[in-house]
Structure 1
Amino acid sequence: MNDKNNKVPFAEDNYTHNINRNMERKLDRRGFMKTLVGAAGLFAVSSLPWGAVAAKELMGLDDKEYPHKKIVDVSKIAVGEAVDFKFPAEHDSAILIRLSEKKFVAYQNACTHLRCPVFWEKDAGNMICPCHHGVFDAQTGVPTAGPPRRPLPGIEIKVEGGTVYAVRVKRYEA
């Protein structure tokens, strides 16, 4: 027989000479968990700038005055009636209620439980969320029944020259 044909081409006895056997199982369970925790940490650190932007926006919310938006003329809303309007943006539903000759209140028109629309119930003097039977006090926006736990966000209004204007969204206070 020819020795050349029976000769192993490498000094090792198999063809896996290029695998470093000590590092074969580099990514075991512990390594996987370290990688997972590292990726989560990287995600957390990379999201910090956006959290800072959001915090800055929330911190300045009470100072943010929007362009005054006309809601209704005082002569066109009777005592005990309500008017729906959009504030501060066109997709933000709100409600204005005239409680007495000189007292108006306005709230964002979304239940604080699951964001269902809230309706004025004149006879009961309350605002009602029909989704889960939430009830809010019209004077304060505080929930009096049902699952909602937080009051409705109030809208500061201004009556000027016989017209009611929306000025700013009041900051929620715990």
Structure 2
Amino acid sequence: MEENKREIPAEDDNYTHNIQKSNERSLDRRGFLKTMVGAAGAFAVATIPWGTMAAKEMLSGGKKEYAGKKIVDVAAIKPGEAVEFAYPTEHEGALLIRVGENEYKAYQNACTHLKCPVFWSKEESELLCPCHHGKFDVKTGSPLAGPPRRPLPEIQLEIKNGAIYAMGVKPYEA
């Protein structure tokens, strides 16, 4: 059997005969840095619209205008009962609770922990989140137990002509 003998290339080749020297470094440090600065610039320009919207939101003080919406007639809800409704949009759930004879409270019913739905427990007189056993006070919306740390967003109510209307959402105060 004949051994496969390899020839050693000439000394001037220095074992680099397989590298195309004309295109050895198509992306050197300077080219890489130019690419990275260009990408960062493109990213900065792409985020300008979102930054303007965020700045506009922050400068407005969190005050949004919401259209009033009739929830229910006063006679249709008894003390201790709750009514589900959608507010401020058709895709956001809310709860109206008649706490006392002439006392009503309404909150958005998405838990402030992970947005699970919050339910009214008439027996316990508490707002409950079944996902992580969160509890909220019905008078303030503040968390009583579980992982939630922020109160439920409160919906401003108005009673006129024997009906209860949702008029807006109170901004969150830290």
Q: Give the TM interval when normalised to the shorter protein.
A: 0.7 to 0.9
TM-score, normalized by length of structure 1? 0.78
Alignment partner, residue 92 of structure 1: 92
Moved more, 124-133 or 54-63: 54-63
Aligned-partner residue type, residue 50 of structure 1: W
Gaps of 5+ in 1: 1-18
Identity of aligned residues (%): 59
> Contact 2:63 / 2:171 at 8 angstroms: preserved in 1?
no
Aligned-partner residue type, residue 78 of structure 2: A
In 2 relative to 1, CA 58–72 (structure 1 residues): closer, same or farther, beyond 3 Å? farther
Moved more, 38-47 or 57-66: 57-66
Alignment partner, residue 51 of structure 2: 51
In the alignment, the residues of structure 2 paired with residue 50 and residue 137 of structure 1 have an alpha-carbon distance, to the nearest angstrom, of: 36
Alignment partner, residue 6 of structure 1: none
Gaps of 5+ in 2: 1-19
Q: Deviations over 1:74-114 (max 9, x none)?
A: 01100111000001111011111111111111111101111
> Contact 1:62 / 1:170 at 8 angstroms: preserved in 2?
no
Moved more, 117-126 or 41-50: 41-50
Measured after TM superposition, the shift of residue 38 of structure 1 is: 4.3
Alignment partner, residue 68 of structure 1: 68
> Contact 1:112 / 1:152 at 8 angstroms: preserved in 2?
yes
In the alignment, the residues of structure 1 paired with residue 84 and residue 61 of structure 2 have an alpha-carbon distance, to the nearest angstrom, of: 23
Moved more, 36-45 or 110-119: 36-45
In 2 relative to 1, CA 134–40 (structure 1 residues): closer, same or farther, beyond 3 Å? farther
Moved more, 60-69 or 84-93: 60-69
Aligned-partner residue type, residue 159 of structure 1: I
Alignment partner, residue 12 of structure 1: none
In 2 relative to 1, CA 41–148 (structure 1 residues): closer, same or farther, beyond 3 Å? farther
Alignment partner, residue 131 of structure 1: 131
In 2 relative to 1, CA 49–83 (structure 1 residues): closer, same or farther, beyond 3 Å? same
TM-score, normalized by length of structure 2? 0.78
Q: Deviations over 1:138-164 (max 9, x none)?
A: 111111111111111111111111100
Measured after TM superposition, the shift of residue 20 of structure 1 is: 8.1
Alignment partner, residue 153 of structure 2: 153
Count of residues paired in the alignment:
155
